[in-house]
Copies of this chain bind each other. A is one copy, B any other.
Amino acid sequence: MSTLNDGKKKVTIYSVAHEAGVSLATVSRVINDSSLVKEETRKRVEEAIVKLGYRPNAIAQGLALKKTTTIALVIPDSSFLYMGKIINGLLDVAKIYKYNIALHTTSSSINEMSEIIDNIVKSRADGVIVYNDCLTEQEVAVLNSFSTPMVYIGHKIKADEACNVFVDYKKALYELTDKYIQEGYKDIVLIEDKKNPMMMDELLQGIKKGFKKHNKEFAGLIEIPDNYHNSYDYLNEYFKDNKHQLVITVRDSQAMAVLNACTENGISIPEETDLVCVMDSRYTDMVRPRISSFFIPSYDLGALAMRVMTKMLNDDEVKEKEYQLSYIYKNKASTKV
């Protein structure tokens, strides 16, 4: 473990230059691996650096270079479980390319986004990665209007120039619906998820398309309260009088609420009702019966987003703007089909 500057005396590039008997310019060159410094001098400077425990001041570098090697990550403050894997992907790639991550979270409050943008602009992040499920079109427009490189994770963005990394949920639900209708299922419902409005929209489109293909109309959207406990209570009442052939939920907690509510009302899954959770999580495999779900490559979403960002920052002309990752449907014990 190397010597640390413990604050007793600030050590700057000047101190190092003085210690090594060279000018700042030379020290700077050594720090930045410039080839044009004599081997012997380099050695002297490097010795001075370790002797003094010098660490370049990234802030001063940022000022001089007009870049911060920091990228801002904007995510909804809820649900770190799903986000967690995305963040892990992001961070692993960021580490490779030596970028720092500044974390910004949005709650649903209206004016917050503009505050966050303000903050990001002030802090001069080199780029911004946004998980965009909760952004209004207006907010996306604002974000796009400013010149910092930007990558959106999660959903296809309408704006043409926007760069985004996403999964085609519409297609996923279309395929699922199609399959089930072909199997003769008629009574298919989708549980609404208010936390993910944009994804919800895509899912709905997919289902509707599936129904349309078979000349049917989808009318099975079920609105339920927001959090697990309320939704569980609600569903517990609901399944006293209702029963469906296939129930689709977005998040694992909703699927578990359905599972519990059904079971406790004597509706057995999968015998009487098939249950599919769109977004996979480790917990869909831990519960019994295991819940059929789509594997969403969250880690890859994060990693790719960051990779694309690094390309943008290196002016490696980013040809593609849209990176679509594929899901995998995992048929487990909560479905018969």
Binding site for B on A (CB under 8 A): 1-2, 4-8, 55-60, 62-63, 68, 70, 73, 77, 79-81, 83-85, 87-88, 91, 100-105, 114, 117-119, 121-124, 138, 142, 145-148, 228-229, 253, 256-257, 260, 263, 282-283, 285-288
Q: List 17 A-B contacts (CB under 8 A).
A: A1-B114, A4-B117, A4-B145, A5-B121, A6-B146, A6-B147, A8-B147, A58-B123, A62-B62, A70-B123, A80-B84, A80-B88, A81-B84, A102-B103, A253-B282, A256-B286, A263-B288
The chain B residue sitting closest to A101, CB to CB, is: B103
Question: Do A84 and B79 form a contact, CB below 8 Å, given A56-B122, A62-B59?
Answer: yes
Q: How far is the CB of A75 from chain B (nearest CB, A)?
A: 10
Number of copies: 2
* Majority SS at the chain A contact face: helix
Q: How far is the CB of A124 from chain B (nearest CB, A)?
A: 5
Interface residue from B59, B70, B77 paired with A88 (Cβ < 8 Å): B77
Other CB < 8 Å A-B pairs besides A101-B102, A263-B288, 6 of them? Answer: A55-B122, A73-B103, A77-B91, A256-B287, A257-B286, A287-B287
B282 and A146 contacting across the interface, CB-CB below 8 Å:
no
